[in-house]
Amino acid sequence: MGTVRAGTEESLALAESLVRGSSDPEQVLQAARIFALEGHRERATDILRQGIMTHPRHAEMLSTLADLLSRSGAFEEADLCFRQALEADPRDAESWYRQGLHHGRQGRPAQARAAYEEVVRLKEHSVKGWVNLGLSRADLGDREGAVRALERALREDPGCGEAHSNLGVLYAEAGLREEALDEFRRAVSIDPGCSEAHFNLGWALLAEDELEQAEATLAESVRLDAGNVESLYALALLHQRAGNYARAVSELKQAIERRPDDARLHYYLGVAYNSQEAVDQAILALETAARLRPDDPRVHRLLGVAYDKKELPSRAREAYRRAAALSG
């Protein structure tokens, strides 16, 4: 085990002193926040439970506990705590916001949208409320409503990189490529340390065949976050397009280490190996892709090509037959 940092020990000692012999709600909340920030989520939860026993209708304690429970995957208990928090104070915008995040974690965009609508009704200048309302509307297919919400967020705070980045995604999906690039560039300018912002810009530049700029931007995204699978994937596609298959293989392998069940990554690894005439490796990658996504005709078609190269005619015929059947 590593040595605990002195700052961490001091923070935890402070948190314990805040709750020792005190039932003051603000001290309970401060202590819980410290424990949560230091990674001691169970201790934070215990402290909040004890505080709620003394203050059963304290909305902030209830919603803070609900948020911690939701982040831990205890969704049913979190639902109950959010309900109690909002019964105690139905005008608490932060409780509604946390409940929106809670719904989003469970893939419930309609409920998330309703929560964020309540946030901006109660607190019309809430930038994070407008941003998340835009995202939930986009998840429900309401692109126009999503754009309006994100544009409102930017009227409230023109320097919100998250709003620029997500607005760029919506513009790109609508085919407004120049507008999307402008938004992505603004997002990177505002938050140059954000890996996701660099990915969005790099992906858009790749779509425009601006390969040199795209490579630099995507490489920066990976430098900022080595675990950004989408940036590694985009770099691999870029290097495949440029004929640099060895680089593509390296990037795809890194991505697969982080996301081994992504059939798309195994498929493109098979493409890269096939282009290098590394038939055995291509077959292994493509068979994995076929197992993960058996209904993708592209995988079976390329498997047929690889089996042909390996002089396995019966397996090649079966792969081609499967590809044709899936293609309709």
Architecture of domain 260-328: Alpha Horseshoe (1.25)
pLDDT for res 21: 63
Q: pLDDT band for 77, please (50, 70, 90 cuts).
A: very high
**How far apart are alpha carbons 97 and 29 in whole angstroms?**
18
pLDDT for res 35: 86
Domain ranges of the chain: 260-328
Average pLDDT estimate for 35-57: 91
**How far apart are alpha carbons 220 and 236 in whole angstroms?**
14
Kindly report the pTM of this predicted structure.
0.84
32/199: higher pLDDT: 199
pLDDT for res 304: 97
Each residue's pLDDT tens digit, 111-134: 999 999 999 999 999 999 999 999
Helices 143-156 and 161-173 meet at what angle, rounded to 10? 150
Q: Is the pLDDT of residue 14 over 90?
A: no
Residue type, 132: N
Average pLDDT estimate for 82-108: 97
Task: Say if residue 328 is exposed, middle or buried (CB neighbours under 10 Å; 0-12, 13-18, 19+).
Answer: exposed
pLDDT for res 247: 96
Q: Is the pLDDT of residue 328 over 80?
A: no
Mean pLDDT of the chain: 93
Q: pLDDT band for 12, please (50, 70, 90 cuts).
A: confident
Six-digit token string for 92: 């608490």
pLDDT for res 4: 35
pLDDT for res 5: 41
